[in-house]
Structure formats: C-alpha cells, structure tokens
C-alpha cells in the first residue's frame, strides 16, 4: 500500500470524527464520488495484517448505524470483499486476524434483523400469481392455467413466504456462519441498484474464488493464495446468483459469465439442487452475445416484453360469435338448388316490359316481346331439364344467343316508334 493511499485513509478516519451532525448529509453525498478513497479502502481490507484494518472496520460500522441512507450504502459496497476475507481467514484457521471483520459482519447482521424500535423483523415475500401480468409473462398466453390461477387469486390463496425472526448472534461459529452470511448477502442484494461497478466486480470475483478454491479448476483460473476448500451452503450460493444475474446486465458481462460457470461447477460437485436450478435457468435465459450496457445511470435487469395480446382469443367461442354466425347463415341465399350439370349454361332471365305501339320491321306481324321472352325462357328450361342435351350444349347456347340478338334487334330497329 502506497503512502499516498495510506494518507487518504487516515484523513478519512480523522475527518469523520470531527464532523458535526448537521453536516452529515452533505458529507455522505460527497463521499460516494471519492473513487480513490474507495480503492484505498479495498486494499486495506485485502490486507488482514494491516494496522488500519481495525479502525476502518470500526468506522464502517459507525457509518452503518448512523441512520444516514447513503452512509449505509457506502458500507454495503464492501460487503462482498469483507465476506471473502473472513472466509479465507477462517479456511486458513487463522481466526485471530479476522476479529475486526467478524465484529463488523456481526454488527451489520444484528442491526438488520431488528427494526427501529428494537423488535425482530419478519421479512415477507408474496409469490407472484400467474393470473396477473408482469414484465415476464402475459396471462392470456398461458391458456387454461390462467383461469385456474385467477380463481385461486380471487379467494385470497396467494402464497406468502416468510423469513424470520432471526436470532441475535454474539459470535460466528461453524454452525451459524452461513446463516449469518446468507442474510447479509440478502441485504446486499436488496441494494444492488445503488452499488457501484467496483462492488459488482468484487462480487463476481469473490464468487468465483469461493467456488473453485481447493478444486482442480483453481489452477485453470490461476487463483493464488489460499488453496484449501471453503465450505458453502445452498442458500448462500442462491444469494450469490442473485447478484451475479444483476451484474450480467450492468456492465460486468465477462466477470459474471465466469462466476456463473464456477457456481455451476461447484453446485454439481456438492449436488445442490437449488443453485443448479437457478444457475441453469439464468444461463438458459441469457442472450447469445454479450450485452453492451453503460456503467453509469439507472441500473436494472433488462428483459424482453412480449406485445400485449387481446384477452379473448380470436378463435374463442362466445355468445357474440355464435350470433354473428347465425346472422351470416340467414343473410346468405339458399343456393342448394342452383347446382347444374356439366355443360349446361344458365342464362340470366331478361325481363322486358310491354311497350305500347311497337312495330316489327320488314312487314312481319308483330309479336309481343312477352311471347319472345316466354319462348326464350321455355327453351332454357327444356335445355336444363333434358339430360340428353348435354352433348348438344354448344348448339343450344348459339340458338339462345341468336334469340337474344333477335330481341335486341326488334327493340332497337329503326322502324320502332315510341309514344
């Protein structure tokens, strides 16, 4: 650790001690922009033998219990690194060098399990119902299952999962170690959107190291230092996956991909079903290419939202569709008797009104148009009813055309007089 970095940490330690309470809010706002100080504090935590480790842990705890939200988040960003340092020291059986880190972790845990009045917290989580839409699904696309879930939700049978009350802990043992650490990671994941990129990088790195230390993959990853295996619990690995899933879509794709592979590797060795289920689900949902995400601005998990479909399927049978079907049937004409045999052409009926005073040309005796029309219709009917005329369809068509032409000539003849 360089002298300048050590001086920055010492100045930070002395500045907070002389800070009045009225300036606490402004101090917390300006603290998150000091990236060089954050880098120096990481180096102090990574050196268990550093003389600054104990006062740094003490001040981080003072930040956490100050009640200022931004100071609380400032302490939380170092939580993954603190957990790794504690587990690494515990695996090396050098418990005395991790006393201040253990005290900080226990202090944060004991503060989080109680409310402001000192009563034990009971955390609750309502499992989402499939009958209600979300960014992940549409109820109409599920089918009959949505109706079942909807019926259950109307009766108030939604499932609620409770966590707590958690007991107070005075020290970390092999029996309660991962119960405390899992709850601390839960608190960290609740504030993921406020964590800087350096904290997400630390989370991915410590997840990989915890999972592969002491196994053959450690040589592939080229991790040096501790070579003994670090025991983990199933719930602890699930909480690690929650943070890694967030890191995928917030600028840490490569580190998160490596951490996910290492968690799957360790979960397969330990035969833990819950981490395997969550990890494989995350892996299956990832896009094929790396996500390009800005490391600044609003942080969130990106999902693809399907277009909202209509609640009633187009093919669904409803009372309105049945009525419409009946109306269509009544409106359509009855064409059951219009079928004709092959080769018979049906000429549409021509209606001609009687015209008084018409004459026929060339001295022919006048015949009323009604007689011609009647003969024409009679010829058509005889043609349609006699099946033997099927082979004579073409001459019949010609005869009918000539009759029509005679009618037109008779109407439009120059000897016609209209009154």
For the CA atoms of 397, 401, 402, 407, the dihedral, rounded to the nearest 10 degrees, stands at 140
pLDDT, residue 34, reads 87
Of the ranges 225-239, 257-271, 292-306, 363-377, which is most confident? 257-271
Domain ranges of the chain: 1-18+35-118, 123-163, 196-290
Q: Across all residues in the chain, what is the average pLDDT?
A: 75
Contact 220, 275 (CB under 8 A): no
pLDDT, residue 400, reads 61
Contacts of 379 (CB under 8 A, 6+ apart): 396, 399, 400, 403
Mapped onto helix, strand or coil, the DSSP state of residue 163 is: strand
The helix, strand and coil proportions of the chain, stated in percent and rounded to the nearest 5, come to: 60, 0, 40
pLDDT, residue 264, reads 96
pLDDT confidence band for 64 (50 / 70 / 90): very high
Mapped onto helix, strand or coil, the DSSP state of residue 114 is: strand
On the question of pLDDT at 371 being above 60, the answer is: no
pLDDT, residue 28, reads 86
pLDDT, residue 149, reads 55
For the CA atoms of 166, 172, 173, 174, the dihedral, rounded to the nearest 10 degrees, stands at 80
Render pLDDT for 298-317 as a digit per residue (tens, 0 to 9). Answer: 445 555 555 554 444 455 55
Structure tokens at 305: 């939202």
pLDDT, residue 365, reads 45
CA dist 396 and 400 (Å) reads 6
CA dist 252 and 299 (Å) reads 12
Q: 134 — phi, psi (to 5°)?
A: -145, -175
On the question of pLDDT at 61 being above 50, the answer is: yes
Q: What one-character-per-residue DSSP string does 30-97 give?
A: HHTT-HHHHHHHHHHHT-TT-TTHHHHHHHHHHHHTT--HHHHHHHHTTHHHHHHHHHHHHHTT-GGG
Render pLDDT for 187-212 as a digit per residue (tens, 0 to 9). Answer: 999 999 999 999 999 999 999 999 99
pLDDT, average across residues 67-72:
89
Q: Is the dihedral of CA 52, 55, 61, 65 positive or negative?
A: negative
Contact 200, 242 (CB under 8 A): no
Render pLDDT for 391-413 as a digit per residue (tens, 0 to 9). Answer: 445 555 555 666 566 666 654 54
On the question of pLDDT at 232 being above 60, the answer is: yes
């Amino acid at each position: 650790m360089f002298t300048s970095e050590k001086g920055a940490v010492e100045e930070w330690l002395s500045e907070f001690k002389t800070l009045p309470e009225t300036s606490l809010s402004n101090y917390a706002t300006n603290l998150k922009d000091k990236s060089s100080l954050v880098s120096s504090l990481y180096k102090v935590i990574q050196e268990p033998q550093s003389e600054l480790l104990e006062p740094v842990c003490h001040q981080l705890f003072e930040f956490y219990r100050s009640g200022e939200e931004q100071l609380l988040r400032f302490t939380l960003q170092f939580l993954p690194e603190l957990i790794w340092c504690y587990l690494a020291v515990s695996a090396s059986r050098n418990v005395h060098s991790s006393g201040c880190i253990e005290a900080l972790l226990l202090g944060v845990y004991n503060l989080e399990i109680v409310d402001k009045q000192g009563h034990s917290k009971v955390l609750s989580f309502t499992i989402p119902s499939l009958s209600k839409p979300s960014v992940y699904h549409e109820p109409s696309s599920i089918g009959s299952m949505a109706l079942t879930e909807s019926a259950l939700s109307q009766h108030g049978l939604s499932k609620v999962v409770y966590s707590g009350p958690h007991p107070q802990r005075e020290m970390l043992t092999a029996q309660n170690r991962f119960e405390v650490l899992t709850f601390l990671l839960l608190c960290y994941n609740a504030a993921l959107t406020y964590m800087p990129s350096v904290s997400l990088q630390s989370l991915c790195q410590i997840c990989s190291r915890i999972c592969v230390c002491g196994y053959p993959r450690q040589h592939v990853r080229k991790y040096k230092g501790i070579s003994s295996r670090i025991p983990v619990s199933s719930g602890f690995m699930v909480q690690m996956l929650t943070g890694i899933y967030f890191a995928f879509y917030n600028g840490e794709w490569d580190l998160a991909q490596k951490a996910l592979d290492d968690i799957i590797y360790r979960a397969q060795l330990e035969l833990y079903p819950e981490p395997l289920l969550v990890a494989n689900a995350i892996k299956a949902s990832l896009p094929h290419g790396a996500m390009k995400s800005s490391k600044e601005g609003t942080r969130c998990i990106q999902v693809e939202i399907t277009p909202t479909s209509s609640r009633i399927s187009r093919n669904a049978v409803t009372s309105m569709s049945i009525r419409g079907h009946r109306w269509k049937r009544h409106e359509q004409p009855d064409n059951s008797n219009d079928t004709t045999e092959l080769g018979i052409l049906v000429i549409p009926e021509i209606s001609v009104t009687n015209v008084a005073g018409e004459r026929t040309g060339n001295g022919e005796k006048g015949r009323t148009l009604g007689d011609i029309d009647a003969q024409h219709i009679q010829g058509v009917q005889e043609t349609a009813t006699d099946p033997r005329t099927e082979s004579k369809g073409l001459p019949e068509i010609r005869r009918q055309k000539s009759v029509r032409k005679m009618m037109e000539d008779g109407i439009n003849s120059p000897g016609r007089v209209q009154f």
